[in-house]
Structure formats: C-alpha cells, structure tokens
Amino acid sequence: MAGPEQGPADGVLGEVSARRPRWLIVALGLVVLFFLVRFLVAEPVRTSGDSMSPTLHDGDALVIQKVSYWFSDPAIGEIVVATAPDTRESVVKRVVAVGGDSIGIEDGVLVRNGVAVDEPYANHHEMDGYFWGPVEVPEGHVFLLGDNRLESHDSRNYGPVPVDAIDGKYLTRLWPL
C-alpha cells in the first residue's frame, strides 16, 4: 500500500514552518546583540544638574563608551560617567588628576603637581578667592570635577574615585543636537 498523498497545501505549510524558526533565531540574535552592545560597549545616559555647564547641560542625552577602559585607564581631560562613592549615584564629571598626582585649587585656578592648568571650559572668575587642597590622588584612582565648580558635587566632596567605579567615557551628545 502506498503512503498518504501530499497535497499542495502540505508542501507550503512545511516551508512556512521551516522559515519561522530561522526568523526567530535571527530576531533573538538581534535582541542579544542589542543587549550586549547596550551593557558592554555603549550606553545612553542623561545628565542631571548643571555641574558640567557650559560643556553639558541638565537633561542632555549622551552616549558613553565602555570598552576603552577595559584596556587603559582614564586620561586627564576626559569626561566620564562614574559611581559616586558617597551616594552610589551615576555622575558625569571630568578627570582632572590621576593616581600619583597632587591636585588643588588656588584662587579659583586648578593646580596639578604645582602647575596651573589651562581650562577654557571652566569659569575661573566665578571662583576668585576659592582655595582647596592640595591632596594626593592614590594609584588606581582619579580625581573628578565638574566644569561648573561652584555647582558641582565632586571629588572635593567624596574624594578620589577608584578607576573600577568608572562606567564609561563620554563619546557624543545625542540631544540636543
């Protein structure tokens, strides 16, 4: 006795069900890729407050890049997102000193290792008469300051930040354009 006959509908149904698992695998792969990029490579963040003004403003949408600090330490001048040791909140600040540096503020001017630092993004005139430090930054740590020194809660308040508390480096601003 011969086997059951297949009609045209059986063949089409078989092809559709064979395509569906491939489509699901591709979709699942894209979702996994998205989450890997989002949590391991780059991440969108939003600034809160004006501590980085005039460089960044309250509510700016940024992209931080996470991979570079797997291979190197943060460098002076880079804007980073880190976890503040005192509040455990994410903060956006500028690296102004690294391990082994002495850092302070003299009459509103940042002084690193005894030398005044040129910072065109900071308003020194608002800080006339302000003195702080100096302190030594331990190895494996960075010293973070906001560009708007009068409005910034930063390493002057919570001390040097361990390099492993840095989540990523500022890559670009998404919004406003």
Reported as a pLDDT band with limits 50, 70 and 90, residue 6 is: low
Question: Which residue has better confidence, 36 or 143?
Answer: 143
pLDDT (0 to 100) of residue 146: 94
Cα gap 101→121, rounded to integer Å: 21
Does the active-site annotation cover 93? yes
Helix (H) or strand (E) holding 9, with range, is helix 8-36
Q: Which of 51, 53, 152, 155 is catalytic?
A: 51
Chain segment 99-122, per-residue pLDDT in tens = 999 999 999 999 999 999 999 988
Q: Which of 48, 53, 90, 93 is catalytic?
A: 93
15: helix, coil or strand? helix
Helix (H) or strand (E) holding 16, with range, is helix 8-36
Question: In this structure, how many other beta carbons lie within 10 angstroms of the beta carbon of residue 56?
Answer: 22
* Contacts of residue 158, Cβ cutoff 8 Å, sequence gap at least 6: 84, 85, 86, 87
Chain segment 22-73, per-residue pLDDT in tens = 777 777 766 776 665 666 666 777 788 899 989 999 999 888 888 777 788 8
In the chain the domains, ranked by start, together with CATH numbers, are 43-175 (2.10.109.10)
Reported as a pLDDT band with limits 50, 70 and 90, residue 162 is: very high
Name the residue among 55, 57, 51, 25 with its Cα closest to residue 154.
Answer: 51
Does the active-site annotation cover 66? no
- For the chain, give the percent of residues with pLDDT over 70: 80
